[in-house]
Each structure stands twice: as C-alpha cells, then as structure tokens.
Structure 1
Amino acid sequence: MRICLFPGTFDPITLGHTDVIGRGLDLFDRIVIGIGTNSSKTPMFTLEERTAWIREVYKNDPRVEVSAYQGLTIDFCKKIDARFILRGIRYVSDFEYEKAIADVNRTIAPEIETIFLTCIPQYSSIASTLVRDIYKYGGDVKPFLPEAVLEGIKKHKL
C-alpha cells in the first residue's frame, strides 16, 4: 500500500491544500494529513478545530486520515508506515525551502521519498498566513477556504 504523509500546521486548511491532496489521491492509496507542532508558530485555531475541519472536508473519502504529531516528520512517517511525503509548491522559494528539508530527510531515511506537487494557478497565492490575516481583520475568506472551515470559523471567537 502506498501511504503518504502530507504534513503541515493547516491553520487553517485552505483550498490550496485540498487541491494538492485531491491530486495526491491519484498517486497514493492513503494520505495521512499530519498536523505537526511547529515550535516557531502559534496557531490561531486549536488543534481540535483544525482536526475537525479536515475530517469534515474528507468525511466521504476513507483514503484520507488526519493525525496530530510532534517531533520529526520523518519519525512520524516511520510510525505510520508512510514511504512518501507530499509537499505543495506555490513558488520557486517554496521549492528551495522544501528541497532543503527533503534532502535532510533523505539523508536520515533514504527509503522515504518526498513528492512535490504544484498548486493550480488559481490557488498559488493562497497561504494560511494570509487567510488568517484577512479573517483577523474582517475580510472575506470565502474564496480561499473549504465550506467546512467557513462554517467552523463562524463559531470561532477572535
């Protein structure tokens, strides 16, 4: 079975993320969306909210799971028997950053391959950081988020 980890903070999951996941499903038997803890980031939305939104988005697709993890992504891959890591690329700068991580991961665990997929053009400018800023200042985030997240943030208090 081709198991793939799609790691990130998903604060929140955006249409750019779901685009990459949807196309990744053509390549893998199962995708685990891994919500990682990043010590340099303070999320706006709780882990429980982010997990619930992702589960709602993929409630009808048993090939997609969500799980939180701490520590090295490569260690989590080993724990879930993932032989692949999926990363979305928007710009050349994303590739340079992600390639450096992929090279380190390959040194640590050469049996785990990183796969890069570019976003479709209409989603290439979507970043969770930008979406959070738009939301924080009362802007319209509808063009950037799945319906489950839009419903969920209506209940969220800033």
Structure 2
Amino acid sequence: MTIAVCPGSFDPFTLGHLDVVRRARTLFDGVVVGVAKNAGKTGLLTLDERVEIVRAALAADPATADVRAEVVPGLVVDFCREVGATAMVKGLRGGGDLDAELPMALANRHLTGVETVYLPADPAYAHVASSLVKDIARHGGAIEDMVPDGVAAVVRAALAAQQR
C-alpha cells in the first residue's frame, strides 16, 4: 500500500489545498494531511483550529472522506516515516513555488528517501494562497469561493478576535 502525506500549515485550508488532496488520493492508496507549524509564519488560526477545519473539509467531500488529518509534531519527513508514507504531495501554483520547494525536496530525499511529488495547481485555484485569503478577509472581502464550506466563518472569527 502506497501512502502519501500532503503537508502544509493550512492557515487557512483553501480549495486549492483540497484539490491537491483530492488528486493525490487518486494516485496513492492512502493519503494523510499533515498539519504543521511554520516557524517562519505568524499564524491566524491555532493549530487545533487548522486541524479541525481540514478534517471537516475532508469529511464533507466524498473523494476525501477516507483521508485523515493529523498534526505534524516535528519534521515532516519524520512524520512521513511515522505514518508509513513514501512520498509527499505538494501543489505548485507557479515557478516561485518550485524555486522555494525544490531544495527542501532534495534534502528530504537525501535524508530519508521520501520523494516529493508536485501537482500543478488547477487553473481555477492557481491564484489562491492562504495569505491572500487572509488579506482579503481582513479588508472585508468575500472569501467563500476560495475556501471549503465553514472556513470563511472561522477565519472571520479569528480576525475579529485579533481586533479585540
């Protein structure tokens, strides 16, 4: 059985992320979404909130209902070993994503043998980034067409809590 991990900080989880998970599920026998902390980013949502919205989105989609989401407690490659994954799957929106991701993929393969599989973003979601979603929401814009059902309300609540 081949298992892949779709890792990310998912702050918040977007329809682009969900599309990558759906497509990964067609390529591998099992998929685990690894929700990780990103030390280089200040998060809007707590780790628990991010895991909760990912789980809700996966459960609501018949194509991903058997995909589980778990917290990545340390290095993603160590998490891959823990769950028995031989690959990571990541989406690429453009060349900038590849430039940022390739050195990490090479290091991960060197350290553990875990391969990284890149899926080009669906053109419908290529412009969607978690940072863009947060920025639009901060300015009162509609984000419902960029995130799974229920996520927009969680993002708005977190932004409102920041204002207090």
For residues 120-156 of structure 1, give each alpha carbon's deviation from its aligned partner in whole angstroms, at most 9, with x where no partner exists.
1111011001111111121111121111313434544
Q: Contact between 2:137 and 2:155, CA under 8 Å: does it hold in 1?
A: no
Match of 1:130 in 2: 132
Give 1:128's aligned amino acid: S
How far is the alpha carbon of 1:106 from its aligned partner? 0.9
Change (3 A) 1:79 1:31: same
Are 1:15 and 2:15 matched, yes or no? yes
Q: Contact between 1:86 and 1:114, CA under 8 Å: does it hold in 2?
A: yes
Provide the TM-score with structure 1 as the length reference: 0.92
Match of 1:3 in 2: 3
The 5-angstrom pairing of residues 135-154 of structure 1 reads 135-153=137-155
Q: Contact between 1:29 and 1:63, CA under 8 Å: does it hold in 2?
A: no
Identity, in percent, stands at 36
Provide the TM-score with structure 2 as the length reference: 0.89
Match of 1:63 among 46, 63, 66: 66
Give 1:139's aligned amino acid: G
Give 2:111's aligned amino acid: I
Secondary structure at the residue paired with 1:43? coil
Measured in 1, the distance between the counterparts of 2:67 and 2:73 equals 20
Secondary structure at the residue paired with 2:23? helix
Measured in 1, the distance between the counterparts of 2:108 and 2:157 equals 38
Q: Select between 43-52 and 143-152 the one with higher mean Cα deviation.
A: 143-152
Match of 2:80 among 68, 77, 87: 77
How far is the alpha carbon of 1:96 from its aligned partner? 1.7
Give 2:122's aligned amino acid: I
Give 2:88's aligned amino acid: I
For residues 58-93 of structure 1, give each alpha carbon's deviation from its aligned partner in whole angstroms, at most 9, with x where no partner exists.
115443111112321111111111111001100011
Measured in 2, the distance between the counterparts of 1:153 and 1:131 equals 9
